[in-house]
Structure 1
Amino acid sequence: MTAKLIYCYDPMCSWCWGFKPTWYELRTLLAPLVEQQKLEIHYLLGGLAPDSDQPMPPEMQTKLQGVWQQISAHLGTEFNHAFWQECQPRRSTYPACRACLVAREAGLEEKMITEIQQAYYLKAQNPSDIDTLAQCAENIGLNKAEFIDAIAQVQQTQSLEKELAQARQLQLNSFPSLGLIVGNRIAHIELDYKSAKNMLQTIELGMRQLSGEGE
């Protein structure tokens, strides 16, 4: 039975940005299991903050700036703190999540995640704004006008909300998070932001336990 590893994320989650190098290393370590068809890797959107046109409250801005500094100190992650002076922050990540859904349909989800993260964390651009997301879409080879139509369609059909409900059902309530599924059994994988090898061992053990080996 093929196991599934679910990576639950939000493209505007700063801890997801910090986790990115280790996640990519883990993907490389898991490649043999994927090639042997013992494991599938799936992305699932978590959705940090719903749609809002309201400016982010000053206390929330201060809190998030502190989180960026904490991640940078802990993991060495690069952040462009000019974002907080050059942009009008909004506590709204759903538009960026919808952009990832549109890109997924074109097989470009990972590229869209990277574009959004780089725009946000390195270029001091605001992915809560459709103009920023449309530029990200164009950067990965999507047509701007078609992308804007597609993201409106995703909002109309509530495709994101359905995916968020799936994440909640799997109890993947923090971002990033990893869930390992075998059959109808799930194990939540403890994240190690500094060691992909530790997570590999946890996943391999989880695959054996969930499949009933040794029981």
Structure 2
Amino acid sequence: MTATLIYCYDPMCSWCWGFRPTWSKLQKSLQGLVDTNQITIQPMLGGLAVDSDQPMPDAMRHKLEDTWQQIQSSLGTEFNFDFWRNAQPRRSTYPACRACYVARDVGLEEEMYHAIQQAYYLEAKNPSNLNTLIECAEHIGLKADGFQKAMMHVEKERLLEAEIEQARHLNLNSFPSLALLKGDQLISIPLDYQDHLSMLAQIKKALS
């Protein structure tokens, strides 16, 4: 029986950006288990913040900028703080999540995820805005028209909301989160932002 490692994330979650190098190493280390059908890796979108056209309140802006500073000092993660001076942030991550959902249908979810992170954290662009997401889509080889139609479909059918509900049902309420689904048993995998080997050991132990 193949177990499923669920990676619950939000493309606009700054801790997910901090976790990215370690997560990449963990995925590489799991490749042997994937190749032998012992495990599959399933991304799941968490949805930090619902759709909103309202500017982000100053208190939230300062809180998030402080979080970026904290991640940078503790993990060495690179951030472009010009975002907080030049962009017009909104507390809305659902559009970016929908973009990843759309890209999943053509096997490019991870590429979209990384393109959004690159635009947001390094290029100080706002992924709450559709034009930024279209740029990301084109960057990974998607056509703008088809991408926009697919985004509208995902929103109209509330496909993202259904996935977020599934994540909540599994108690995956913080991002990033890792959990191993083995039969009907869900085993939480504690995160280690600095070292993938501890998580690899936990996963192998849970599989045995």
Per the normalisation by structure 1, the TM-score is 0.96
- Cα distance in 2 for partners of 1:183, 1:7 equals 17
Structure 2 matches for 1:20-59, cutoff 5 A? 20-59=20-59
Shift of 1:145: 1.1
TM-fit CA distance, 1:165? 0.6
The aligned residue for residue 157 of structure 1 is: 157
Q: Which residue of 1 aligns with 2:140?
A: 140
* Alignment-mate amino acid for residue 110 of structure 2: E
Structure 1, residues 100-138: CA drift from partner, whole Å, max 9, x if none?
000000100000000000000000000000000001000
Q: State how 1:124-203 maps to structure 2 within 5 Å.
A: 124-203=124-203
Give the paired residue count: 208
- RMSD of aligned residue pairs (Cα, Å): 0.5
Kindly state the Cα deviation for residue 55 of structure 1 after the two structures are TM-superposed.
0.3
Secondary structure in 1 matching 2:30: helix
Q: Report what 2:95 is aligned to.
A: 95
Deviation at 1:207, TM superposition (A): 1.5
Specify the alignment match of 1:212 in structure 2. Answer: none
Counterparts of 1:154 and 1:33, CA distance in 2: 32
Determine the structure 2 residue equivalent to 1:108.
108
Q: Deviations over 1:117-173 (max 9, x none)?
A: 000000000000000000100000000011111101100000000000110011110
Runs of 4+ in 1 over 3 A off after TM superposition: none
CA shift for structure 1 position 206: 1.2
Residue type matched to 1:184 in 2? D
- Specify the alignment match of 1:63 in structure 2: 63
**CA shift digits 1:50-102 (9 cap, x unpaired):** 00000000000000000000000010000000001110000000000000000
Q: Deviation at 1:176? A: 0.1
Q: Are 1:79 and 2:117 an aligned pair?
A: no
Gaps of 5+ in 1: 209-215
